[in-house]
Amino acid sequence: MKILVLPGDGIGKEVTASAIEVLKTLVPDLELDYGLIGGSAYDETGSPLPKETIEKIKKSDAVLLGAVGGNKWDKLDHTLRPEAGLLGLRSHMQVFANLRPVKIFKSLIGSSTLKEDVIEGVDLMIVRELTGGLYFGKPKGIETKGAIKRGFNTLEYTTPEIERVAKIAFDLAQKRNKKLCSVDKANVLESSRLWRETVEEVAKAYPDVELSHMYVDNCAMQLIRNPKQFDVILTENMFGDILSDEASMITGSLGMLPSGSLGEGKGLYEPVHGSAPDIAGTGKANPIGAILSAAMMLKYSFNKADEAARIEQAVDKVLSRGIRTPDMTAGAKEVVGTEAMTKHIIDEVKKK
Please give the domain boundaries of the chain with CATH numbers for all domains.
1-96+263-352 (3.40.718.10), 103-250 (3.40.718.10)
Of 3, 4, 19, the closest CA to residue 271 belongs to: 19
- The answer for 178, left when phi > 0, alpha when psi is -120 to 50, beta otherwise, is left
Q: CB within 8 A of 344, min separation 6: which ones? A: 318, 321, 323, 336
Reply yes or no on whether 241 is catalytic. yes
What pLDDT score was predicted for residue 352?
67
Q: Which of 13, 103, 185, 284 is catalytic?
A: 185
Reply yes or no on whether 217 is catalytic. yes
Quick: pLDDT tens for 229-268. 999 999 999 999 999 989 888 887 778 889 999 998 899 9
pLDDT over 90 (residue 329): no
Query: What is the value of pTM for the model shown?
Result: 0.90
- The answer for 331, left when phi > 0, alpha when psi is -120 to 50, beta otherwise, is left
pLDDT over 70 (residue 33): yes
Quick: pLDDT tens for 172-222. 999 999 999 999 999 999 999 999 999 999 999 999 999 999 999 999 999
What letter represents residue 145's amino acid? K
The CA angle 284-29-351, to the nearest 5 degrees, is 60
Of 247, 299, 271, the closest CA to residue 112 belongs to: 247
Query: Rounded to an integer, what distance in angstroms lies between the CA atom of residue 311 and that of residue 291?
Result: 8
Arithmetic mean of pLDDT over the chain = 95
Reply yes or no on whether 245 is catalytic. yes
Residues listed for the chain: 352
Query: Rounded to an integer, what distance in angstroms lies between the CA atom of residue 111 and that of residue 5?
Result: 31
Q: Which of 245, 304, 316, 317 is catalytic?
A: 245
Reply yes or no on whether 135 is catalytic. yes
What pLDDT score was predicted for residue 245?
86
Average pLDDT of the segment spanning 316-338: 92
Q: Which of 43, 217, 278, 347 is catalytic?
A: 217
Average pLDDT of the segment spanning 135-142: 93
Quick: pLDDT tens for 267-313. 999 999 999 999 999 999 999 999 999 999 999 999 999 999 999 99
What pLDDT score was predicted for residue 58?
93
The H or E element spanning position 48 is: none
Of 24, 19, 25, 33, the closest CA to residue 266 belongs to: 33
Strand, helix or coil for residue 43: helix
* Gyration radius from the chain CA atoms: 20
Strand, helix or coil for residue 164: helix
Helices 338-350 and 305-320 pack at an angle, to 10 degrees, of: 120
CB 240 within 8 A of CB 126: yes
Q: Which of 9, 184, 231, 241 is catalytic?
A: 241
Q: What percent of the chain has pLDDT over 70?
A: 100
Of 39, 27, 34, 71, the closest CA to residue 53 belongs to: 34
What pLDDT score was predicted for residue 279?
96
Q: Which of 13, 103, 135, 299 is catalytic?
A: 135
Average pLDDT of the segment spanning 25-38: 95
